[in-house]
């Protein structure tokens, strides 16, 4: 890639693109969102330009006092062979500082009422994943034409207990999570009400203050958006002004250089909900900002939705569902929705009702076109980390499934679905992430096995330091060993994946085999150790046979079954006028 500088513009076939980033909930530092997305997008734009061309950073302005922006230009070739210059300007709309936050007590009270809905959505999300796992068991590719159901029955018998165990563990985890978060919010509220002055003590404030502020920032943003009309209007205003400035820059660039201009918005989490509300919900009748494409990643559109206010605000004009407003938008706006398969915040697709969201979710996994297709934007399910705790913040690191399609949209290149290499990258990436998540669970299972079976089979370790024994008890050595197994095992798993993921993302022509060999070997080692532990715990031929059969199933599990696909956009059909006889 060339260094930062200015060069001559090609006078013909020039495209100017403005990309406005809208961040999610939480206090965002200046340039944080801009750099998180600009770094991978600039690299991918340079990669898509090919070996004969390269991207050039025209401007990089990261001064806090100015409007931060990154401008990158590259030359691309259309399908017809015509060359054109594309200049992409990346800016951010930082709405987090547009309003004072809610009070601490108000935030905690709202969080308690919101917790039930969030946990319920998370439970439904995980239930759909388990149902999809069962569908993978009974509908493997190629088995439909088989004359015998024996392989299918064997597979189901081996995997069904694991799914049931997973479901039971998930229900228990959700109950514990709900009770724990509820207790945390209640305790926080009690602290603020009963012993709030304690936070004025310097030592206590230094420890508890950052924790309380972190909770207030994240929960308070969602509460302000859904229940406080003035603060919600301030959020919308920041996004509207950023889009208006981008539109003005486009008009000036096109007027001075000719060519064409396009405006693209990328919203993450709550930022996606704000952007959709700005573009597709205009009860005041004002002209919405001119936008050609909306990209939502990890969108909390169905979790937070549009601003719903209580009290006197109920007299305001009715606010439409974003999908309905998007369907009626003229000129039409391209809407692509990226959501992580293991991301609990978006919990799947966007549509008009809960039933339609489920239909859109199924359309991303089923092989056939549904009989009753539901409306909604283009749905792009992706695999980020296979870990619900990190999935929501990992979209910018998913090069094959998120960054690459976005970069192609900015450059107006053919969609990846028409590229065999891009399709192969998505497949290998999805299966690799599934293996990554499974191996992570195996590492944790092995760590738990060390903690449980070590003291049972070998007893306490006598040479344990007395200070450690006083702190953790007589099984302190086994606790340390279990933690060490978990830390080392997870580090090896992540290191193997990072190396494999880089080859998938950046190698020009992905080569077979499609299996992640390093992960396969690592998974085999983990399964062998778990099988040996089961044989030591319950000696017998039946135990070895059953554990071996389950190990074979888990060894192959990431590489079989359905992978999500892109669901095409469908707009809400206009209502037909009633017929008169």
CA 569, chain centre distance (Å): 20
Tell me whether strands 83-93 and 334-340 are parallel, antiparallel or unpaired.
unpaired
Question: What is the DSSP code string of 273-339?
Answer: HHHHHHHH--TT-PPPP--SEEEEES--HHHH-S----GGGGGSPPPPPHHHHHHH-SS--EEEEEE
Q: Residue written as tokens 């965002």? A: 28
240: its two tokens: 């509207």
Residues in the chain where the model's pLDDT stays below 50:
1-10, 140-150, 185, 189, 191-200, 204-205, 309-318, 417-418, 576-581
Counting other chains too, the contacts that 155-161 makes at CB distance below 8 Å and 24 or more residues apart are 155/553, 158/549, 158/550, 158/553, 159/133, 159/553, 159/557, 160/134
Which uninterrupted H or E stretch holds 92? strand 83-93
Single out the residue of 158, 150, 155 nearest to residue 138, CA to CA.
155
- CB within 8 A of 393, min separation 6: which ones? none
The C-alpha atoms of residue 185 and residue 188 are separated, in whole angstroms, by 5
The C-alpha atoms of residue 232 and residue 223 are separated, in whole angstroms, by 10
531: its two tokens: 């099988």
Question: What is the DSSP code string of 535-576?
Answer: HHHS-SHHHHHHHHHHHHHHHHGGGSS----PBPPBPPPPPP
Tell me, what DSSP letter sits at residue 269?
A: T
Tell me whether strands 260-268 and 378-382 are parallel, antiparallel or unpaired.
unpaired
Write down the pTM of the prediction: 0.82
pLDDT the model gives residue 169: 59
HEC-encoded secondary structure of 154-199 = HHHHHHHHHHHHHHHHHHHHHHHHHHHHHHHHHHHHHHHHHCHHHH
What SS3 class is residue 205?
helix
96: its two tokens: 């987090």
pLDDT the model gives residue 372: 79
What SS3 class is residue 260?
strand
């Amino acid at each position: 890639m060339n260094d930062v500088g200015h060069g001559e513009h090609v006078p013909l076939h020039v495209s100017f693109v403005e990309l406005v980033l809208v961040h999610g909930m939480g206090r965002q530092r200046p340039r944080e969102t801009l750099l998180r997305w600009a770094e991978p997008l600039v690299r991918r734009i340079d990669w898509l330009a090919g070996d004969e061309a390269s991207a050039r950073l025209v401007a990089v302005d990261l001064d806090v006092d100015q409007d931060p922006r990154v401008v990158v230009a590259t030359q691309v070739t259309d399908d017809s062979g015509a060359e054109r210059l594309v200049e992409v300007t990346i800016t951010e709309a930082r709405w987090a500082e547009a309003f004072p936050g809610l009070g601490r007590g108000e935030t905690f009270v709202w969080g308690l009422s919101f917790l039930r809905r969030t946990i319920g959505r998370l439970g439904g999300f995980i239930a759909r994943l388990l149902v999809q796992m069962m569908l993978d068991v009974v509908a493997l590719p190629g088995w439909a034409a088989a004359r015998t159901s024996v392989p299918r029955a064997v597979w189901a018998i081996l995997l069904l207990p694991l799914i049931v165990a997973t479901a039971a563990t998930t229900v228990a985890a959700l109950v514990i999570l709900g009770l724990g978060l509820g207790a945390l919010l209640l305790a926080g509220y009690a602290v603020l009400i009963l012993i709030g002055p304690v936070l004025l003590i310097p030592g206590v404030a230094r420890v508890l203050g950052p924790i309380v502020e972190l909770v207030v920032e994240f929960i308070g943003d969602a509460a302000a958006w859904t229940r406080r009309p003035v603060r919600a209007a301030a959020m919308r205003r920041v996004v509207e002004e950023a889009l208006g400035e981008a539109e003005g820059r486009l008009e000036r660039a096109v007027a001075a250089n000719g060519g064409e201009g396009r405006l693209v918005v990328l919203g993450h989490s709550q930022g996606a909900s704000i952007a959709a509300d700005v573009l597709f919900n205009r009860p005041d009748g004002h002209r919405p900002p001119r936008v050609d494409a909306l990209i939502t990643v990890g969108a909390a559109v169905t979790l937070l939705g549009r601003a719903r206010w209580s009290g006197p605000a109920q007299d305001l004009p009715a606010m439409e569902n974003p999908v309905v407003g998007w369907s009626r938008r003229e000129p039409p706006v391209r809407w692509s929705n990226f959501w992580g398969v293991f991301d609990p915040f978006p919990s799947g697709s966007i549509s008009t009702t809960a039933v339609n969201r489920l239909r859109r979710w199924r359309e991303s996994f089923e092989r056939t076109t549904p009989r009753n297709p539901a409306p909604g934007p283009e749905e792009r399910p992706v695999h980020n980390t296979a870990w619900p705790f990190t999935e929501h913040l990992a979209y910018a690191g998913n090069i094959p499934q998120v960054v690459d399609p976005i970069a192609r949209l900015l450059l107006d290149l053919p969609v990846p679905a028409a590229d065999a290499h891009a399709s192969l990258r998505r497949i290998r990436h999805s299966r690799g992430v599934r293996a990554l998540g499974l191996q992570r669970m195996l590492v944790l299972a092995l760590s738990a096995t060390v903690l449980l079976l070590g003291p049972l089979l070998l007893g306490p370790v006598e040479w344990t330091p007395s200070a450690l024994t006083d702190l953790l008890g007589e099984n302190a050595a086994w606790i340390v060993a279990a933690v060490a197994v978990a830390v080392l095992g997870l580090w090896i798993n992540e290191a193997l994946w990072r190396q494999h993921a880089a080859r998938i993302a950046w190698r020009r022509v992905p080569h077979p085999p499609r299996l992640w060999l390093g992960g396969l070997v690592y998974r085999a080692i983990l399964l062998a150790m778990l099988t040996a532990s089961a044989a030591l715990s319950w000696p017998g031929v039946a135990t070895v046979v059953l554990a071996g059969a389950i190990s074979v199933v888990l060894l192959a599990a990431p590489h079989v079954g359905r992978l999500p696909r892109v669901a095409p956009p469908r707009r809400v059909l206009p209502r037909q006028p009633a017929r008169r006889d």
